[in-house]
Amino acid sequence: MMIPKTHPRYTSLMLREKISQAMKRGIVHETGLIAHGRGETFDYLIGERTLPVTKGAEKTAAACLIDSTHPVISINGNVAALAAKECCDLAKTVGAQLEVNLFHYDKERVLRVAKVLKENGADAIRGLHPDKKIPDLDHSRANCCSQGIYKADVVVVALEDGDRCQALKNMGKTIIAIDLNPLSRTAQTATITIVDNVVRALPRITEWTKQISPDETQKIIQDYDNEKYLREVLDYITHRLRNFEKAGMELF
Ligand code: ATP
């Protein structure tokens, strides 16, 4: 479908189109469309832009990645459809691995997601031959690679489900979650939550990793408070909704 650049929701509609095309190509599961819709709702509420308060979360995520010895970016269908290149760029910048991990597991879809990553510059991709299980997780997302997510000290997840986020945390890992819904179990469970669209958040984290020096990382991590950040995001959304009557559509 041709979307004119002048359309007020151009960017949002382009992302929707990408997800829709990726579902037709067997990269996104049909339920991924619903997950995307939930994300759109929250993106709408934050004004479809990165909130100023999110800077601290991005910076801390970058600091954790710089400090990590074995970082992994977990990839599912929606993430591959929307931000394959951004994932590959971040992986290259911080020396992270990319591991495909699907909720609705299907070997063929894993291969298709891996192909998208390859086309966007990934060198090595994990997840094709999972040989370990994340403890205390009953669904197929428990499958992972011993040299990838299983061994990781820092895992970046997006469009994640809360169960796996908690199970990964229980393994002692630092979890960086990119999730537009500040109320989701993932957002509430992660070590660092970035309430932003994955397409905006990933390049910003990559940029921060280039700006922070290694001797700054510990202080950035120590000073960060994820609960406080999530409260600030909710306060922002509440304020915006309360003032809608006054400011009307200008807010949106
Ligand atoms: P949880 O188990 O964490 O409560 P959930 O069941 O609410 O998760 P899912 O439907 O599994 O959520 O996953 C979708 C999540 O990803 C939602 O929280 C949604 O807001 C978020 N999301 C959807 N699209 C994007 C996007 N493009 N960028 C960032 N987050 C997104």
Q: Which residue in 55, 68, 75 sits closest to 94, CA to CA?
A: 68
Average pLDDT (183-194) is 97
Task: Kindly report the protein residue whose alpha carbon is nearest to atom 8 of ligand 1.
Answer: 161
Kindly give the number of the ligand 1 atom that is closest to the alpha carbon of 179. 30
What is the pLDDT, as a whole number, of residue 249? 54
CA of 213 to the centre of ligand 1 (A): 32
Average pLDDT (189-214) is 97
Average pLDDT (222-230) is 98
Domains of the chain by residue range = 54-232
Distance CA 106, CA 29 (A): 10
179, 193, 194, 233, best to mutate for ligand 1 pocket (most atoms within 8 Å of CB)? 179
Average pLDDT (39-59) is 96
Q: pLDDT by residue (tens digit) across 130-139?
A: 999 999 998 8
Average pLDDT (26-54) is 96
Alpha-carbon distances of 192 from 34, 137, 154, 230, rounded to whole Å: 24, 21, 11, 10
Q: Is 167 in the pocket of ligand 1 (CB under 6 A)?
A: no
Kindly give the number of the ligand 1 atom that is closest to the alpha carbon of 163. 2
What is the pLDDT, as a whole number, of residue 245? 72
Q: Which residue in 79, 132, 144, 134 sits closest to 105, CA to CA?
A: 144
What is the pLDDT, as a whole number, of residue 250? 55
Residue 233 has pLDDT above 60, yes or no: yes
For domain 54-232, the CATH superfamily is: Phosphopantoate/pantothenate synthetase (3.40.50.12640)
What is the pLDDT, as a whole number, of residue 224? 98
Q: Is 16 in the pocket of ligand 1 (CB under 6 A)?
A: no
Q: Is 39 in the pocket of ligand 1 (CB under 6 A)?
A: yes
Q: Which residue in 168, 162, 226, 163 sits closest to 195, CA to CA?
A: 226
CA of 88 to the centre of ligand 1 (A): 21
Looking up tokens 């922002």 gives: 236
Q: Is 82 in the pocket of ligand 1 (CB under 6 A)?
A: yes
CA of 75 to the centre of ligand 1 (A): 13
pLDDT: which is higher, 248 or 6: 6
Task: Kindly report the protein residue whose alpha carbon is nearest to atom 16 of ligand 1.
Answer: 159
Looking up tokens 């931000």 gives: 83
Percent of the chain topping pLDDT 90: 86
- pTM to 2 decimal places: 0.95
Residue 201 is encoded by which pair of tokens? 């958040």
For residue 226, give the 3-state DSSP assignment.
helix
159, 164, 165, 193, best to mutate for ligand 1 pocket (most atoms within 8 Å of CB)? 159
Residue 70 pLDDT grade (very low, low, confident, very high; cuts 50, 70, 90) = very high
Kindly give the number of the ligand 1 atom that is closest to the alpha carbon of 189. 3
Q: Is 103 in the pocket of ligand 1 (CB under 6 A)?
A: no
pLDDT: which is higher, 80 or 245: 80
What is the pLDDT, as a whole number, of residue 251? 52
